Structure 1
Amino acid sequence: MTTVRPTACSAISSASRVEILHLVQQRARRTLAELTDATGLHANTVREHVQRLIDDGYMVAEPERRTTRGRPRVLYSAATDTPSDVQARRVAAAAERGDLMRRVLPATSPTHLDTDALHQIDAIVEDLMDAGFDPIVDEDELTIDLTPCAHAAAQAEHRELLCRVHLGLMQGVLDAAGGPLSVDGMRSSCDPEQCVVQLMLAERATKVASDQPAA
């Protein structure tokens, strides 16, 4: 029986934080005032959400570069645009733990994935577990099954936005880990709690791009 981890402590367990992540994924280098206006939340509330997202490695902050006098504003971006130090440390630690596990418990069947791709899988699995999911990876099909979705019931009215944001977060983790895998999308399903994410190798991504008709 599949168990669902509690999501209360996850950075994406809050609909407001999901909305903030969506805003910075859409456009980088946003100010606190812009995020406050866009969400309609109090500035102090936005500041707390932003700090939580920074602490968890999902967002980064940088001072504005000014050519005039005055205190520079702080600009916020998604870690998918500018990888965070927190994310880099987590990716490296996940790869070390994954390598150790593979040495201690050798796979019963050979994998077609190279070391870089395996490290990407290590990183994304740990990130998903921290977010409250119980991921099941199929290395042959390049899928990650997150069913039942740990957030579907709690944030049913925000599911579409949550899925878009989380796919972006997953891509950010894969990019931070470095390797041939990327997010292809989510497999369609009539079951609102079913969630299977499709990955693809760089070679396939290149072929898909080459198959597109010229503009």
Structure 2
Amino acid sequence: MTTGRPAGYSAISNYSRVEILHLVQDRPERTVSELVSATKLHPNTVREHLQRLIDDGYVVSKTENRTTRGRPRVLYSATDGVVARSAVQHRRVRAAAERGDLMRRVIPGAAPDLEQSALHQIDALVEDLVDAGFDPLVDEDELTVELTPCAHASAQASHREVLCSVHLGIMQSVLSAADGPLSVDGMRSSCDPRECIVQLLHASQTP
């Protein structure tokens, strides 16, 4: 399956970019100076990381509306698929849905129980996870996404809490951008820190 990115390309394989993404997920509309202060990175390095995240559809930017004199600042937010929308992310979501529909037409098998909009969400989610370096295993009946083994958890064990938070945020953003009934319910608890199973929730299951 081809997604159009160079082999091995992943904006979130670098922990500095993960840290920046975590900051803008936690609080949107941050400036470069705020991110520099939080990360202790050089301003040019922060700008380069932000551009990489924008190119991959994880971050969007806008120029603030100033009512006073002075140069308007550029504000950065994590994409959420709803309010902070990325054209890059939406192109990939649409392309993933088209590829998924094609695969389901040409590969024989039982008709899936999920409606088309939910299947399109899973198509987009799987492609994004593969691009990020995961090998996801989706159970469409249980609505789980198994990401074990998690290479990120092994390589960045000391930052596992931040990594998990960022990855769950990205997954929710992709699902929202695909516009269907599924959302991220959370991560299943496990005694093994390398084991990662994400639970999805169908809108019909919401109390």
Distance (Å, rounded) in 2 between the aligned partners of 1:60 and 1:198: 27
Relative to the length of structure 1, the TM-score reads 0.89
Counterpart mapping for 1:1-215 below 5 A: 9-80=9-80, 81-106=83-108, 108-205=109-206, 207=207
Distance (Å, rounded) in 1 between the aligned partners of 2:32 and 2:186: 30
Distance (Å, rounded) in 1 between the aligned partners of 2:151 and 2:111: 31
Shift of residue 187 of structure 1?
0.8
Distance (Å, rounded) in 2 between the aligned partners of 1:57 and 1:94: 14
1:126-160 alpha-carbon deviations (Å, 9 max, x no partner): 00000000111100000011110021111111111
User: Structure 2: which amino acid aligns with 1:102?
Assistant: R
Shift of residue 83 of structure 1?
1.5
User: Structure 1: which amino acid aligns with 2:146?
Assistant: D
Shift of residue 45 of structure 1?
1.0
**In structure 2, the residue corresponding to 1:174 is in which secondary structure?**
helix
Shift of residue 8 of structure 1?
6.1
Q: Which runs of no fewer than 5 residues in structure 2 stay unpaired?
A: 1-6
Distance (Å, rounded) in 2 between the aligned partners of 1:23 and 1:185: 20
**In structure 1, the residue corresponding to 2:68 is in which secondary structure?**
coil
Equivalent pairs, count: 199
Distance (Å, rounded) in 1 between the aligned partners of 2:9 and 2:111: 36
**In structure 2, the residue corresponding to 1:151 is in which secondary structure?**
helix
Distance (Å, rounded) in 2 between the aligned partners of 1:88 and 1:130: 15
Shift of residue 176 of structure 1?
0.3
| Structure 1, 150-159 or 135-144: larger mean CA deviation | 150-159
1:179-203 alpha-carbon deviations (Å, 9 max, x no partner): 0000000111111211111001011
Shift of residue 112 of structure 1?
1.8
| Structure 1, 120-129 or 18-27: larger mean CA deviation | 18-27
Shift of residue 109 of structure 1?
2.6
User: Structure 1: which amino acid aligns with 2:107?
Assistant: L
Distance (Å, rounded) in 1 between the aligned partners of 2:91 and 2:111: 28
Q: Which runs of no fewer than 5 residues in structure 1 stay unpaired?
A: 1-6, 208-215
User: Structure 2: which amino acid aligns with 1:37?
Assistant: S
What is the Cα-based RMSD across aligned positions, in Å?
1.3
1:98-143 alpha-carbon deviations (Å, 9 max, x no partner): 000000013x233221010000000000000000001111000000
User: Structure 2: which amino acid aligns with 1:91?
Assistant: V
1:2-28 alpha-carbon deviations (Å, 9 max, x no partner): xxxxx9632111111111111111111
Distance (Å, rounded) in 1 between the aligned partners of 2:50 and 2:13: 14
Distance (Å, rounded) in 2 between the aligned partners of 1:55 and 1:179: 24
